[in-house]
Amino acid sequence: MVDALKHPRAPLLMLTVIVLSLMGVALLAGGVWLAALGGSLYYLIAGVALLVTGWLLAIRRAAAIWLYAALLLGTMIWAIWEVGLDFWSLAPRGDILVPLGVWLLFPFIVSHLSPGWRSARRALIVVLAASAFVLGLSLRSDRSDIAGRLPQANAVTDIAGAPAAVDWTAYGGDDFGTRYSDLKQIDNTNVKDLKLAWQFETGDLKGPDDPDEFTNEATPLKIGETLYTCSPHQIVFALEAATGKLRWKFDPKIQHDKTFQHMTCRGVAYHQTAPGAVAADGTPAPNECARRIFLPTDDGRLFALDAESGKPCDGFGDHGQIDLKEGNEIKTAGFYEGTSPPVVTDKILIVAGAVIDNYSNRVPSGAIRGFDIYSGRLIWAFDAGNPDPNEMPSATHHFTAGSPNSWTVAAVDEKLGLVYEPLGSSSPDIWAGNRTPDEERYDSALVALDIATGKLRWSFQNVHHDLWDMDMPSQPSLVDLHGEHGVVPAIYVPAKTGNIFVLDRRDGHLLVPAPERPVPQGPAPGDHTSPTQPFSDLSFRPRQLLTEAQMWGSTMFDQLICRVKFKRLRYEGPFTPPSEQGTLVYPGDFGMFEWSGIAVDPHRQIAIANPQSVPFVSRLVPRGKDNPAAPDAAHPPGTELGVQPMYGAPFGVDLGVFLSPLNIPCMAPPWGSLAALDLKTNRIIWQHRVGTIRDEAPLPLPFKLGVPMLGGPIVTAGGVAFLTGTMDDYIRAFDVEDGKLLWEDRLPAGGQSTPMTYEAGGRQYVVTVDGGHGSFGTKLGDYVRAYALPGKS
């Protein structure tokens, strides 16, 4: 250092010395911690190398450049060894070291060094060129990508059910939940010409008394010349389908309350009285409200509205509404919420709802109920936690508290007389030592119920003794599979685990194998685990365990922190039990599939899916000062993330996404993709990452990492799939043949919903509801937007 003082002052050189020293100290400290946990030694070595480089620069030695070139070369070799030629995995390993290497080439650095700096500089240039070559090579391929084209087999023409054509009559397009339309005015050759045809703003925005989980996840219905949709406070809007002009609206006057876990609306349901129709009791159907809209609400009510005027149907329940809290002992506001549309059949209205998650074991029942579609009279109940699920409420009997609920959308096959209800788990979700066998029979299962009686025909359990909130989240899709041995009525059931279970919907037997496999053991005190879980052969779940090398970050520093966090968590693969240490849950309880389901073209026998993969951390919190054993004012309900009290269990639980200090997932992307399935072979034909970080990054960077999403795809006879649910605010259209992006348009808010399509006045429209999602972090809004081809009429 004394020698260095004899040289002319070089402020940029000394600044570089300081930066290198700080980087070296950070990497050395983190590297020692990681090495002590049994992790990679790279960061420790890199920290030492940067400190020595800084020291050599400070004493003006050309060896500093040689050492830095060696560090950069070693980093490149180590990175390729760990992750191969995957650009987004390589990037954080070099996005600081490579630019810093370029900085060291400048004369204001190297000209102050001892003789020999020119040869050292040439060596560093060679290493930088090699790094650039490797990065360029990695951009030419995507190891997560599956390239392919759907087979050009003859289409099936004799399809059961009623695929949506001119109208879109149910949440999933039809009762089968296919999210498919026969319309093909918009096709893969002209979709690029789509323009905004109209836009409607509901005016229903988040207020100061609303919960964080304020969302608009609605898929509108279109019947005749009218579009029906709803907003987060369950306000119903009837719009002219061709223009978006308001015809009427109905406001149920929902209570605004921060303690509600959700404030959302996924849609409404529609029923039309057929000529000569009779009610469930055999009496003639009333003349009132021959066309009616059904609306569930977050405060536990259900409305029947005249589809023509929006007025409540006076003969239904109590002047147009029924109280869904009836039959429950616990009637706390917000503990039972109607967030998804009910199932409409000829005579029976089948209603389920969401029950507050992870708050207490003293919560309302998730009982599914069948009502007379005209009068609202309760006809049957299926209370999954009751030894006799069909026991009706009475003066001496309430529904079972905390019984598994069906918060999502169901599907129905009226020809078979069955409704298919996906169930969650008993409350609380993450510790289950006190669940009874009766409460667990149908936990996280699909139940097929008789439409007329509510009696169980069959069930399939997707997770045994669920400790991970791995409920059945998606509306199942019903498909008639055509094969060598005739037609098989199938049901495709997407699960949070990434599995898609394929069963015969008549009796529930598996059509695609889902063998039971051993899973990690070692439950929390007082709990137990199932020794095995079912793993479907048709699945998007990760085939290999997560490793430290898959930990990610925007830089090598937050990547290092993610590696340390990973090594400190308990993780032995899927179904690793929750723990006080903290368990990495992957796939996370956010789910590889959520409420949106898949889209099915029943003619071509293909499906479009949008799986996502974001790990969660589940940490059990023993009772104590900050986690009392009983409810108090300091721990109100109102969120699904953070510390959940789980009253009635010996633990609370701290739930959250596995994030870096920069609030990005600790696992390398892609976190979301779009894929096509051939239902004749049940194989994934193509799969591509979808979505950019434009609306999540500090700068609007259009990097296509493949992002999480809420909201699913639709598919049309025009060979186009539409998707809006990604974390960036776009509607996109894809070629069904190979997944190629054909068109996209910027949305004014997050599109966390599933779009729909219909025809009005000879013109095909694609409609998206763009209201954003509070806890998802997308921009909130109040938009309903319709796209069409210009000049079509």
Annotated catalytic sites, by residue?
Answer: 469
Determine contact, residues 337/327, Cβ cutoff 8 Å. no
CA 747, 298, 171, 424 torsion-angle sign: positive
CA atoms within 13 A on the CB side of 158: 6
CA 598, 599, 603, 604 torsion-angle sign: negative
Q: Which residues contact 222 (CB under 8 A, 6 or more apart)?
A: 167, 168, 169, 228, 241, 756, 758, 760, 767
User: 10 Å Cβ neighbour count for 25?
Assistant: 14
> Is omega for the bond preceding 525 within 30 degrees of 0, making it cis?
no
> What residues does 766 pair with on adjacent strands?
757, 787
> What is the identity of the amino acid at 195?
K
How far is 566 from 560, CA to CA, in rounded Å? Answer: 10
> What residues does 226 pair with on adjacent strands?
223, 240
Q: Which two tokens stand for residue 791?
A: 């000049």
Determine contact, residues 274/260, Cβ cutoff 8 Å. no
> What is the identity of the amino acid at 44?
L
> What residues does 585 pair with on adjacent strands?
616
The structure tokens 């003859």 sit at 154
How far is CA 755 from its chain centroid? 15
Q: In which element (H, E) is residue 687 found?
A: strand 683-689
Q: How far is CA 337 from CA 15, 331, 366, in A?
A: 59, 11, 10
How far is 404 from 424, CA to CA, in rounded Å? Answer: 5
Q: Which residues contact 272 (CB under 8 A, 6 or more apart)?
A: 223, 290, 291, 292
Determine contact, residues 730/722, Cβ cutoff 8 Å. no
Determine contact, residues 675/610, Cβ cutoff 8 Å. yes
How far is 327 from 336, CA to CA, in rounded Å? Answer: 12
Using alpha carbons, select from 469, 397, 386 the residue that is nearest to residue 431. 469
How far is 86 from 792, CA to CA, in rounded Å? Answer: 44
Quick one: residue 74, left, alpha or beta (phi over 0 = left, psi -120 to 50 = alpha)?
A: alpha
> What residues does 248 pair with on adjacent strands?
238
How far is 769 from 754, CA to CA, in rounded Å? Answer: 8
How far is 229 from 236, CA to CA, in rounded Å? Answer: 6
The radius of gyration of the chain from alpha carbons, rounded to an integer in Å, stands at: 29
Using alpha carbons, select from 477, 419, 422 the residue that is nearest to residue 452. 419
Q: What's the maximum distance between 2 C-alpha atoms anywhere in the chain?
A: 106
Q: Which two tokens stand for residue 19?
A: 């930066």
Q: What angle do CA 268, 394, 392 make, to 5 degrees?
A: 55
CA atoms within 13 A on the CB side of 141: 10
Quick one: residue 320, left, alpha or beta (phi over 0 = left, psi -120 to 50 = alpha)?
A: left
Using alpha carbons, select from 609, 732, 595 the residue that is nearest to residue 679. 609
Q: Torsions phi, psi of 495, nearest 5?
A: -125, 160
Using alpha carbons, select from 382, 371, 399, 342 the residue that is nearest to residue 279. 371
Determine contact, residues 379/370, Cβ cutoff 8 Å. yes
Q: Which two tokens stand for residue 517?
A: 């496999």
Q: Which two tokens stand for residue 742?
A: 């054909």
